Amino acid sequence: MDQTDTPAFSILDLAPVPRGSTPGDALRNTLDLARHAERWGYTRYWLAEHHNMTGIASAATAVVIGQVAAATRTIRVGAGGIMLPNHSPLVIAEQFGTLEALYPGRIDLGLGRAPGTDQLTLRALRRDPAAAEDFPQDVLELQALFGPEQPGQRIRAVPGMGLNVPLWILGSSLYGAQLAATLGLPYAFASHFAPDALMQALQVYREMFRPSAQLQRPYAMVGVNVIAADTDAEARRLFTSPQQSFTHLVRGTRGQLPPPIDDIESYWSPMEKMQASRMLACSFVGAADTVRQGLTDFLAQTGADELIVASAIYDHAARLRSYEILANVRGAMRRA
């Protein structure tokens, strides 16, 4: 990316289920947001695999990606990500090969090493908790399944073989950065909820990167939360929904996305505030000018090639408005 360019802006949608609604409502909101995102010029629209979480509706990630791709025409659609230790590489190659066959040139496959759930649910998925140790080999196997047929090859992904679906490595630690660099793959860092190692991971990735057939230069995507509204005060109030959700994580409880509240300080303890705020450190909350200044500084600090933006906002109309404001912010950054 030329340093004078404004990085691409993309969307990470966890298909949040607001309190009092259903997963079906959440998925219909996903399709509506994706259509708007395409019109507003976002580069890609990713969904993430989570299991046994009442507040997230994207468990069957490949299925939802197919629906989003069918509801749009040009925006790239993909996984941010598929938790590969939960699956056979062949099954993922077939699923994403099918998506690429139906929507050629529009499908991304981001791969994570974490289970995306708790250990009890991991056993319900019929996977060995030790499967994460095979992650590098599984990535290579998946890469080979998307490649051209080799002499004597007996196991093929159909569809999938020869389609070269772009792979990404996702991570929140140095492990993913090192693997992405070694394999010459683009790297996406989950700083929208685990920002502690962000700068070190980006440095490791860039310094260790080795060119590959897929990618000649390092390409780093960075996750952020953006809650934008017409005023700073309105945005801060909307932000109390993810603040409550992260407080629930600290407390060891989960649930649907709560509505915003007037006074977050009365909701969390000082210790909960410190822990939740640390996880939400890469969050940009406010009206357009506030968000633009925050993102400008963040991009200068990280040198990110692309931002992928999560916005856990309770009201769907307010969520749409947030992404619309962000699209206008990027337009202003490009003009500047």
Give the per-residue pLDDT at 116: 60
Domain residue limits, the chain: 8-222+292-325
Helix 135-146 / helix 89-102 crossing angle, nearest 10 deg: 40
Give per-residue pLDDT as tens, 35-92: 999 999 999 999 999 999 999 999 999 999 999 999 999 999 999 999 999 999 999 9
Amino acid at 51: H
Residue 121 scores a pLDDT above 90: no
Residue 224 scores a pLDDT above 80: yes
Residue 273 scores a pLDDT above 70: yes
Residue 117 scores a pLDDT above 90: no
The CATH code for residues 8-222+292-325 is 3.20.20.30
E-strand stretches of the chain: 8-13, 44-47, 76-83, 107-112, 167-171, 187-189, 220-228, 283-286, 306-310
- The arithmetic mean of pLDDT across residues 271-279, rounded, is 97
Mean pLDDT of the chain: 95
